[in-house]
Amino acid sequence: MAEEELEEEPEGEDGEEASSSGGKKKLLIIVGAVVLLLIGAAAAVFFSGILDSEETEESAEKEGKEGAESEMEKKTYFVDLDEMIVNLNTTERRQSLLKLKVSLEVAEQKDVAVVRELTPRVVDNFQTYLRELRLDDLRGSAGMYRLREELLTRINIAVEPAKVKAVLFKEMIVQ
């Protein structure tokens, strides 16, 4: 019996070591999870802005008011051009027509007068460019985008001291 007890003790000691190493692993996993949870909570508090001071809130309010005032001062103006009907460049016997009505977006009131004064030059540039277009050039949204960008470039060259911000299509019909 004494021999049996001696043999059982080493097994018990090994069993304790196995259970204590398993306990250490569990403890490490729990501590790691808690640390990750704390890091996540700290990041959430930091990015949510809860810890921001009152000074930053006041400065943000001031910037917001200044931004609103500057937006009110920045009014846009629109200049409507007359409707244009242009023959498109085709290789077929059948004629293709483009009916176009645009509005020009201008940033300043003084530019409106300049654009209106130089409207004949703008229309001439439009007509010259549009007559060279083919039907395939106007297909899809990519064609519309390219047309808008090209017209904007030509307008800004024609009304050089003034600046046109955008070309807005009011009507565009291709037949």
What is the DSSP secondary-structure string of 117-160? HTHHHHHHHHHHHHHT--GGGG-HHHHHHHHHHHHHHHHHHHTT
pLDDT value at position 45?
Answer: 79
pLDDT value at position 66?
Answer: 62
164 shares a domain with 119: yes
Q: Of 171, 44, 7, 9, whose CA–CA distance to 103 is shortest?
A: 171
* pLDDT tens, N- to C-terminus, the chain (175 residues): 455 555 555 544 555 555 667 788 899 999 999 999 999 888 887 887 776 655 555 566 666 666 555 555 578 899 999 999 999 888 877 888 999 999 999 989 999 999 999 999 999 999 999 999 988 888 889 999 999 999 999 999 999 888 999 999 999 998 8
pLDDT value at position 29?
Answer: 93
Question: How many other CB atoms are found less than 10 A from the CB of residue 52?
Answer: 11
Question: How many other CB atoms are found less than 10 A from the CB of residue 170?
Answer: 12
Answer yes or no: pTM beyond 0.75.
Answer: no
19 shares a domain with 84: no
67 shares a domain with 88: no
Residue 101 phi/psi, 5-degree rounding, is -130, 120
Residues 6+ apart with CB under 8 A from 79: 103, 104, 106, 112, 115, 116, 119
Of 29, 46, 73, the position where a domain reaches its end is 73
Total domains, the chain: 2
What DSSP state is assigned to residue 52?
Answer: -
pLDDT value at position 116?
Answer: 93
Residue 9 backbone class (left: φ over 0; alpha: ψ -120 to 50; beta: rest): alpha
Question: How many other CB atoms are found less than 10 A from the CB of residue 107?
Answer: 16
| Domain that residue 152 falls in | 77-174
102 shares a domain with 69: no
82 shares a domain with 150: yes
pLDDT value at position 161?
Answer: 85
